[in-house]
Amino acid sequence: MTENAIITAHGLRKSFGRKEVLHGLDFEIPAGRIYGLVGHNGAGKTTTLNAILGLTDCEGTIRVLGEDPFARRAQLMENVAFISDVASLPRFLRVRELFALISNIHPNFSQEKARDFLTGTDIRMDAKIKHLSKGMIAQLHLAVVMAIDAKLLVLDEPTLGLDISYRKRFYRRLLEDYMTEERTLLITTHQVDEIEFMLSDIMFIRDGELILHMQMETVNEKFSQLVVTDPAKAERARGLRPVFEETRFGQTVLIFDGVDRAELTQLGQVSTPNVSDLFVALMQRPTANPSAA
């Protein structure tokens, strides 16, 4: 285990009945990073997060801040905060009462900070949670978790159902007021384009397996996207074994893994694929036999 790893997992497996949903994941997440965990619905993202948060017992080993999250969940939660996509705040409480409640149960929660984070929003301290809009509840939730002095913050689809300006503000807040070198962020989202540049590392999970776990910098060096208009050049490009190919608007778009960019530049326009293009490319089966477009 690396000295500064926040999370380490070895052979992490989980079955529900006879169906295995995690097939032995191995990964390590160091401190100070912003991790994106991306996968289809049902790929095993939430199960992985639940294992990290000690909400589910798994085979294999998992350590969060050096502890077994399932066995030592209560202690661990002092240093871990999370927003789950199904999380709900107690609707019958007022904001003020919520803050008082959390400061009673969470030793690292600061009511003052939480109140500070609400400045600039329309959320009043005496408002009942059930009267808040969806966007306001998300803001409240974010204010609560940012006011917890945690080493690890896990965000499971934190912006689901929010409009774009709320989403932008949400991430802006996170980077401006929360992120430091001592903190680690683990985010899952389907709107990965929005956070792509925020991430230091990315993990793709497909059918219970990690198919990509890489620093974003390495992703940018390793993968290239090539757009070709000339069919003869497209044919030559195919010879370089793309991992993905599709036809868009009369152009052939190919994605390569570890092919020299200088070589590709002679065939067409080369760029770095964005995370969602890469996701589409890697999440389906490699194109050993490219389908006729």
Per CB under 8 A, 171 contacts another protein? yes
Q: For another protein, give the closer residue by CB, 99 or 171.
A: 171
Task: In angstroms, give the least distance from the CB of 28 to another protein.
Answer: 17
68 or 194: whose CB is closer to another protein? 194
Of 171 and 244, which CB lies nearer to another protein in the complex structure?
Answer: 171
Cβ proximity to another protein: between 2 and 271 the closer is 271
Is residue 152 a contact residue for another protein (CB under 8 A)?
Answer: no
Closest distance to another protein from the beta carbon of 198 (Å): 5
Rounded CA separation 197/274 (Å): 10
Is 176 among the residues that bind another protein (CB under 8 A)? Answer: yes
Q: Where are the beta strands (DSSP E) in the chain?
A: 5-16, 19-30, 34-39, 59-64, 80-83, 152-156, 184-188, 201-206, 209-215, 223-228, 244-248, 251-257, 269-271
The dihedral over CA atoms of 222, 225, 231, 235, expressed in degrees to the nearest 10, equals 20
Binding-site size, another protein (CB under 8 A): 23
Using H for helix, E for strand and C for coil, what is the string for 94-154? EHHHHHHHHHHHCCCECHHHHHHHHCCCCCCCCCEHHHCCHHHHHHHHHHHHHCECCCEEE
Which DSSP string do the residues of 7-28 spell out, in sequence order? EEEEEEEEEETTEEEEEEEEEE
Site string for another protein, 182-221 (x = CB under 8 A): ------------xx-xxxx---------------xx--x-
Residues 244-283, mask of contacts with another protein (x by CB under 8 A): ---------------------------xxxx---------
One character per residue 223-242, x = contact with another protein (rule: CB under 8 A): --x-----------------
Integer Rg of the chain from CA: 22
Q: What is the DSSP letter of 34?
A: E
Closest contact distance (angstroms) between CB of 200 and another protein is 5
- The secondary structure of residue 82, as a DSSP letter, is E
Q: Applying CB under 8 A, which residues contact another protein?
A: 32, 34, 168, 171-173, 175-176, 179, 194-195, 197-200, 216-217, 220, 225, 271-274
